[in-house]
Amino acid sequence: MDQQREKIDFDVLFVGGGPACLSGAIKLMQLAKKDNISIEVALIEKGAEIGSHALSGAVLNPIALQELIPDFIEKGCPVEKVVKGDEFVFLAKTGYFKVPFTPRQMHNKGFYIISLSKFTKWLGEIALELGINIFPGFAGKEVLYDDNGKTVTGIRTGDKGLGKDGAPKGNFEPGIDLMAKVTVFGEGARGSLMQDLAKKLDIYSGKMPQVYETGIKEVIQLPENNYFSSSDANDIHTLGYPLGFDTPGGGFIYEMKDNKVTVGFLAGLSYDDPMFDLYDEFIKFKSHPFVAQIIKDGKVLQQGARTVSTGGYYTMPKLFVNGALFTGGAAAFQNTPALKGIHVSMKSGMLAAEAVIKAFEENSFNAETLSYFQTLFDKSPIKEEMLEGRNFAQALGRKGLIKFVHLGAQYFTKGRGIIDGMNTEEDCTTLKPLKAGGETATTETKKITFDGTLYVDKLTGVYLSKTMHREDQPCHLIVRDTDICVNECYEKFKSPCTRFCPGDVYAIETDEKTGKRKLKLNFSNCLHCKTCDIKDPYRNIKWTCPEGGEGPGYTMV
Ligand SMILES: Cc1cc2nc3c(=O)[nH]c(=O)nc-3n(C[C@H](O)[C@H](O)[C@H](O)COP(=O)(O)OP(=O)(O)OC[C@H]3O[C@@H](n4cnc5c(N)ncnc54)[C@H](O)[C@@H]3O)c2cc1C
Ligand code: SF4
Taking the centre of ligand 2 as the mean of its atom positions, its distance from the CA of residue 57, in whole angstroms, is 19
> Which residues have a Cβ under 8 Å from the Cβ of 272 and sit 6 or more positions away?
246, 430, 431, 432
User: How much of the chain, in percent, has pLDDT values that exceed 90?
Assistant: 95
Residues 46 and 143 in one domain: yes
Is the CB of residue 48 below 6 angstroms from any atom belonging to ligand 1? no
Residues 123 and 164 in one domain: yes
Is the CB of residue 329 below 6 angstroms from any atom belonging to ligand 1? yes
Q: Tell me the angle at which helices 19-34 and 116-129 cross, rounded to the nearest 10 degrees.
A: 20
Is the CB of residue 479 below 6 angstroms from any atom belonging to ligand 2? no
Q: Does 440 score more than 60 pLDDT? A: no
CATH code where residue 291 lies? 3.30.9.90
φ, ψ dihedrals at 232, nearest 5°: -85, -25
For residue 44, the ligand 1 atom closest to its alpha carbon is: 43
Model confidence pLDDT, tens digit, residues 31-47: 999 999 999 999 999 99
Contact 390, 415 (CB under 8 A): yes
Q: Does 445 score more than 70 pLDDT? A: no
Taking the centre of ligand 2 as the mean of its atom positions, its distance from the CA of residue 531, in whole angstroms, is 6
Is the CB of residue 266 below 6 angstroms from any atom belonging to ligand 1? yes
In this prediction, residue 444 carries a pLDDT of 55
Residues 14-37, mean pLDDT to the nearest whole number: 97
Which residue from 281, 345, 469, 542 has its CB within 8 A of the most atoms of ligand 1, so it is best to mutate? 345
Residues 189 and 137 in one domain: yes
Q: How confident is the model at residue 446 (pLDDT cuts 50, 70, 90)?
A: low
In this prediction, residue 178 carries a pLDDT of 98
Q: How far apart are CA 544 and CA 547, in angstroms?
A: 10
Model confidence pLDDT, tens digit, residues 468-506: 999 999 999 999 999 999 999 999 999 999 999 999 999
Which residues partner with 204 through β-bridges? none
In this prediction, residue 400 carries a pLDDT of 87
Q: Is 476 part of a structural domain of the chain?
A: no
Q: Does 196 score more than 90 pLDDT? A: yes
Using CA positions, which residue lies closest to atom 6 of ligand 2? 501
Q: Is 26 part of a structural domain of the chain?
A: yes
Using CA positions, which residue lies closest to atom 1 of ligand 2? 526
In this prediction, residue 327 carries a pLDDT of 98
Task: List the end-to-end C-alpha distance of the chain, in Å, as a whole number.
Answer: 39
**DSSP string for residues in 330-352:** GGT--BTTTTB-HHHHHHHHHHH
Taking the centre of ligand 1 as the mean of its atom positions, its distance from the CA of residue 359, in whole angstroms, is 27
Residues 369 and 409 in one domain: no
For residue 254, the ligand 1 atom closest to its alpha carbon is: 8
Q: Is 153 part of a structural domain of the chain?
A: yes
CATH code where residue 123 lies? 3.50.50.60
The DSSP output letter for 21 is H
In this prediction, residue 79 carries a pLDDT of 98
Is the CB of residue 545 below 6 angstroms from any atom belonging to ligand 2? no
Q: How far apart are CA 537 and CA 427, in angstroms?
A: 8
Q: Is 472 part of a structural domain of the chain?
A: no
The DSSP output letter for 473 is S
Residues 95 and 240 in one domain: yes
Torsional sign, CA 238, 243, 244, 248: negative
Range of the domain at 93: 80-113+211-309
3-state SS record for 37-51? CCCCEEEEECCCCCC
Q: Is 171 part of a structural domain of the chain?
A: yes
Overall number of domains in the chain: 3
Taking the centre of ligand 1 as the mean of its atom positions, its distance from the CA of residue 150, in whole angstroms, is 28
Model confidence pLDDT, tens digit, residues 340-390: 999 999 999 999 999 999 999 999 999 999 999 999 999 999 999 999 999
Residues 252 and 180 in one domain: no
Work out the angle at residue 357's Cα, subtended by the Cα atoms of residues 354 and 362, and round it to the nearest 5 degrees.
Answer: 130
Alpha helix positions (H), 226-331: 278-287, 289-295
Is the CB of residue 541 below 6 angstroms from any atom belonging to ligand 1? no
Is the CB of residue 20 below 6 angstroms from any atom belonging to ligand 1? yes
Contact 285, 265 (CB under 8 A): yes
Residues 105 and 27 in one domain: no
Taking the centre of ligand 2 as the mean of its atom positions, its distance from the CA of residue 526, in whole angstroms, is 5
In this prediction, residue 435 carries a pLDDT of 83
Taking the centre of ligand 2 as the mean of its atom positions, its distance from the CA of residue 395, in whole angstroms, is 27
Residues 303-324, mean pLDDT to the nearest whole number: 98
Residues 56 and 94 in one domain: no
Q: 309, 342, 364: which is the final residue of a domain? A: 309
Q: Does 421 score more than 90 pLDDT? A: yes
Buried b (16+ CB within 10 A) or exposed e, 211-229: bbbbbbbbbbbbeeebbbe
Residues 7 and 43 in one domain: yes
Q: How confident is the model at residue 443 (pLDDT cuts 50, 70, 90)?
A: very low
Q: How confident is the model at residue 3 (pLDDT cuts 50, 70, 90)?
A: low
Using CA positions, which residue lies closest to atom 4 of ligand 2? 526
Residues 21 and 149 in one domain: yes
What is the average pLDDT score of the chain?
A: 95
Q: Is 497 part of a structural domain of the chain?
A: no
Q: What is the pTM of this model?
A: 0.97
Is the CB of residue 477 below 6 angstroms from any atom belonging to ligand 2? yes
Q: How far apart are CA 509 and CA 515, in angstroms?
A: 9
Q: How far apart are CA 14 and CA 29, in angstroms?
A: 12
Is the CB of residue 505 below 6 angstroms from any atom belonging to ligand 2? yes
Q: How confident is the model at residue 101 (pLDDT cuts 50, 70, 90)?
A: confident
Residues 286 and 338 in one domain: no
Taking the centre of ligand 2 as the mean of its atom positions, its distance from the CA of residue 522, in whole angstroms, is 10
Contact 304, 264 (CB under 8 A): no
Q: Is 243 part of a structural domain of the chain?
A: yes
Strand bridging mode 41-45 / 7-15? parallel
Torsional sign, CA 328, 331, 333, 336: positive
Taking the centre of ligand 2 as the mean of its atom positions, its distance from the CA of residue 543, in whole angstroms, is 8
Is the CB of residue 140 below 6 angstroms from any atom belonging to ligand 1? yes
Is the CB of residue 532 below 6 angstroms from any atom belonging to ligand 2? yes
In this prediction, residue 2 carries a pLDDT of 52
Is the CB of residue 51 below 6 angstroms from any atom belonging to ligand 1? no
Q: Is 133 part of a structural domain of the chain?
A: yes
Is the CB of residue 12 below 6 angstroms from any atom belonging to ligand 1? no
Taking the centre of ligand 2 as the mean of its atom positions, its distance from the CA of residue 137, in whole angstroms, is 19
Residues 192-203, mean pLDDT to the nearest whole number: 96
Taking the centre of ligand 2 as the mean of its atom positions, its distance from the CA of residue 68, in whole angstroms, is 34
Q: How far apart are CA 144 and CA 5, in angstroms?
A: 14
3-state SS record for 64-92? HHHHHCCCCCCCCCCEEEECCCEEEEEEC
Residues 225 and 303 in one domain: yes
Taking the centre of ligand 2 as the mean of its atom positions, its distance from the CA of residue 501, in whole angstroms, is 5
Q: 388, 408, 437: which is the final residue of a domain? A: 388
- Ligand nearest the Cα of residue 139 is 1
Q: Does 409 score more than 90 pLDDT? A: yes
Q: 278, 309, 340: which is the final residue of a domain? A: 309
Q: How confident is the model at residue 254 (pLDDT cuts 50, 70, 90)?
A: very high
SS3 223: coil
